[in-house]
């Protein structure tokens, strides 16, 4: 048996990316992956969800899913609830990672029939309100400039496949 060449999978420490070009690439990849996760959560579990991201405090990126598209809705209620609980926590972890890596402000609001109240991240109400207020103080034109709705996201993904 030969000695291992690598240490295998290891948990790495989350730290802010310092190099500006790496920061841009990291944000770009992470926020696209985040949109995919939000889209899957809304379709599979029938969750209404919205996310707000600020890149460097300048640009506002938002994703909303106001209507429940049932493209591949999980019919079994127990399986759907389990999927929702797992994906919800995964989404929160990804948002936390993205905010640490890219030093951005972000928040998410989720509504599902499984929780009696709205689910929000960050869980600290003050931090959540700060992000939401920063979003609401932007002009409607600025807010909608990088708004990505679920329907247009699905169409964009389909066109990339073709």
Do the domain assignments include residue 89?
yes
Residue in the block written with tokens 């994703």: 63
Domain count within the chain: 1
CB 49 within 8 A of CB 92: no
- C-alpha 36/C-alpha 66 separation (Å) is 16
pLDDT: is 64 or 149 the higher one?
Answer: 149
Instruction: Encode pLDDT of 117-146 as tens digits.
Output: 888 888 888 988 988 888 888 888 888 877
Domain limits for position 45: 20-161
Residue in the block written with tokens 């939000």: 38
Do the domain assignments include residue 142?
yes
3-state secondary structure at position 75: coil
Do the domain assignments include residue 136?
yes
User: Which strands sit side by side in the sheet containing 59-65, from one edge to the other?
Assistant: 119-121, 105-111, 48-55, 59-65, 147-149
What is the chain's percent helix, strand, coil content, to nearest 5?
50, 15, 30
Instruction: Encode pLDDT of 21-74 as tens digits.
Output: 777 777 777 777 777 777 777 777 777 777 877 776 567 777 665 544 445 677
Do the domain assignments include residue 85?
yes
Both tokens of residue 98?
A: 């993205």
The predicted pLDDT at position 69 comes to: 43
The predicted pLDDT at position 70 comes to: 44
The predicted pLDDT at position 18 comes to: 79
Do the domain assignments include residue 134?
yes
> Quick check: bond before 141 cis, omega within 30?
no
CB 112 within 8 A of CB 119: yes
Residue in the block written with tokens 């996310």: 51
pLDDT: is 25 or 112 the higher one?
Answer: 112
Do the domain assignments include residue 30?
yes
Do the domain assignments include residue 112?
yes
Do the domain assignments include residue 42?
yes
């Amino acid at each position: 048996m030969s000695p291992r060449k690598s240490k295998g999978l290891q948990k790495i420490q989350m730290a802010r990316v310092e190099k500006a070009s790496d920061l841009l690439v990291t944000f770009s990849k992470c926020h696209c992956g985040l949109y995919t996760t939000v889209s899957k959560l809304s379709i599979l579990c029938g969750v209404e969800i919205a996310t707000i991201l600020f890149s460097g405090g300048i640009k506002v990126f938002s994703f909303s899913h106001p209507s429940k598209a049932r493209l591949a809705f999980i019919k079994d209620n127990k399986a759907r609830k389990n999927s929702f609980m797992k994906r919800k926590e995964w989404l929160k972890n990804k948002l936390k990672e993205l905010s640490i890596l890219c030093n951005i402000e972000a928040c998410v609001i989720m509504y599902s029939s499984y929780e009696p109240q709205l689910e929000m991240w960050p869980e600290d109400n003050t931090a959540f309100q700060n992000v939401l207020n920063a979003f609401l103080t932007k002009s409607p034109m600025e807010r909608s400039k990088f708004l990505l709705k679920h329907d247009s996201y699905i169409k964009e993904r389909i066109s990339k496949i073709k």
